[in-house]
Chain A
Amino acid sequence: MDIYAQNILDRYKEPHYKDKEFSAEITHKEANHSCGDVIETSITPKEAYGFSGQGCAISMASADMLGDLTEDMDENEILKIAKADVFEMLGIDISLRRSKCALLALLALQNGILEKRGEKLKTWTDYHI
């Protein structure tokens, strides 16, 4: 049996950034109510990243891998991350039914920045799903 690629399974089982404790500049929580997944991301851009929450393997792996992707990014660069970038980061085919799983952490990360700036938050339609 091989449900997901090995990289996804590895990051799900042994995440690098899960429940990391630090005092973050930006913290934000988003939920996917249709499946009950919740992710809270914490970030101080260019310094530290962490997340907490519960979800399926794809949502958790995606939240974890975003830590690597955003390592050297400032706020504006993080806001520019698109759906395609996340799918490429995951390196597997993401079906329509799993798109929200893959993007939940990005939604939390980007909305944290938008909230801090007092700007309009993103919704799923902004990712065209």
Chain B
Amino acid sequence: MDFKKDFPIFGKRDLVYLDSAATAQKPQAVLDAITEYYTHFNSNIHRGPNFLSEEATVAYEDARRVTADFIHAENKHEIIFTRNTTESINLVARSLESQFQKGDEILLSKLEHHSNIVPWLQLSEKTGVNIKYIPIDSEGRLEFAEELINEKTRLVAITAMNNSLAVMPELEPIIKVAHSKNALVLVDVAQSIVHQEVDVQKLGVDFIVFSGHKIYGPTGIGVLWGRTELLEQMEPFLGGGSMINEVFEDHFTPAGLPEKFEAGTPNIAGAIGLKAALQYVLDIGYSKIHKYEKELTEYLLGKLTSMPYVEIIGPKDLKNRGSLVSFGIEGVHPHDIAEGLSQQNIVIRAGHHCNQVLMDHYGLPGTARISLALYNTEEDIDKAVKTLEETHKYFN
């Protein structure tokens, strides 16, 4: 399987890219779609009765339809285009604010990315809601207990895949208990959606958030999916053009869904690029993706486990995990690991990965992280492993 050829960056430079959890590379199809928009029908949408705006509007709204179908959403107006996962979560937190009271509880997990912690902390500062966390065990697996959700719990916000340990928590039991207590459930699929299908009907959740750039799409386009009745009750997020129905000197009436939450000129090219990315994934198919990435992850885990000075942080098996591995090397700081690889044109991430709560739990300043995508090969892993061996030797 050669997916690498679909991604022009690999033809342009000598590059081993093992940092797809930060952002994925873009296939030619995505680049073509963006260029096609800017060179053939660039214009603003929903504004003005002319053929050019019509073409742009049709393309933008078609991207919304494809996105809705991609996650099996019932209605396309339930897809709100944002800048990224972070903005999607902020939108929910801000727009729900008036519905929260002092003493209400929000349940997160220790696996959350900063983007699924800080907006809730901000909400807590404003409204006095209490933030609680589902604890984790030594491998980073959730230790969920029903008692964590009670009558005061108004919302559970949780990741479908953690970005430093690769843990994919079992969501069903949490969603079940949350709904039995009438709590809303938001699932952050920013990491998981590039590896595993998201079906909002089957999951039975209330909000889904993700970023285009981690699923082979462009930066600057993100998605919020929410159930219609919830989105309708929520207050608008940003104010301005497009999100209004009527504006008077002293008041305004908001537009309906989805425009209510899309103030100003949106990222039209981004939405069109995202559509191409989602179609790229659909064309290959999740089962093929899953099989290939699983093989690669197994290969990587095998190599790292065989190096006695490498410590894998997080689960060491393939059960409920995504295709990334965090690790440390005896006597070598994570930054120095990344620097050594960087000098061989191998890109990985080192640091706390926006998971400071999780790193504090382990008492670690950070880790080195290799994350894999479709375009990676065993040869990529071999090159990285060889450099890791040399790096260890160099420092010890």
Q: What residues of chain A have their CB less than 8 Å away from a CB belonging to chain B?
A: 1-4, 9, 13, 33-38, 54-58, 98, 101
Contacts and interface: CB of A to CB of B under 8 A. Distances in A.
B334 to A, nearest CB: 7
A54 B394 contact: no
A89 B336 CA distance: 20
B366 A36 contact: yes
B66 interface: no
10 contacts: A1-B387, A1-B390, A9-B394, A33-B352, A36-B366, A54-B365, A56-B335, A57-B333, A57-B336, A98-B339
The 10 closest A-B pairs by CB, nearest first: A36-B365, A56-B335, A56-B333, A1-B390, A36-B366, A3-B340, A35-B351, A56-B336, A57-B336, A1-B394
Given A35-B365, A37-B365, A57-B336, A3 B391 contact: yes
Contacts of A101: 335
A13 to B, nearest CB: 8
A36 to B, nearest CB: 3
B364 A1 contact: no
Nearest to A38: B365
B198 interface: no
B370 to A, nearest CB: 17
Given A3-B340, A55-B335, 5 more contacts: A1-B390, A3-B343, A35-B335, A38-B365, A56-B334
A1 B394 CA distance: 7
Given A1-B390, A1-B391, A35 B334 contact: yes
A1 B335 contact: no
Interface in B34-49: none
Nearest to A37: B365
B333 A55 contact: yes
Interface of B: 333-336, 339-340, 343, 350-352, 356, 359, 364-366, 387, 390-391, 393-395
Chain B binding surface, main DSSP class: helix
Contacts, number: 54
Contact of B351 (A4, A34, A38, A57): A34
B329 to A, nearest CB: 12
B393 A35 contact: no
A55 B366 CA distance: 10
A104 B20 CA distance: 29
Given A3-B336, A3-B340, A57-B336, A36 B394 contact: no
A9 to B, nearest CB: 8
A4 B333 CA distance: 13
B186 to A, nearest CB: 26
B366 A35 contact: yes
A105 B258 CA distance: 50
A120 B387 CA distance: 44
Residue among B335, B340, B350, B351 with most chain A CB within 10 A: B335
B352 A1 contact: no
A33 B365 CA distance: 9
Contact of A36 (B351, B387, B395): B351
A37 B336 CA distance: 12
A1 B336 contact: no
Nearest to B393: A1
Nearest to B333: A56
A128 B350 CA distance: 23
A55 B351 CA distance: 11
A103 to B, nearest CB: 14
A29 to B, nearest CB: 14
Contacts of B366: 35-36
B393 to A, nearest CB: 7
A95 B264 CA distance: 38
Contacts of A9: 394-395
Contacts of B359: 36
Contact of B352 (A35, A38, A56, A58): A35
B259 to A, nearest CB: 37
Nearest to A34: B351
Contacts of A58: 335
A13 B394 CA distance: 11
A36 B358 CA distance: 13
Nearest to B331: A13
B236 to A, nearest CB: 34
Nearest to B354: A34
Contacts of B336: 3, 56-57
Contacts of B333: 54-57
A56 B334 CA distance: 7
B113 to A, nearest CB: 15
Contacts of A56: 333-336, 339
A34 B343 CA distance: 21
Contacts of A98: 335, 339
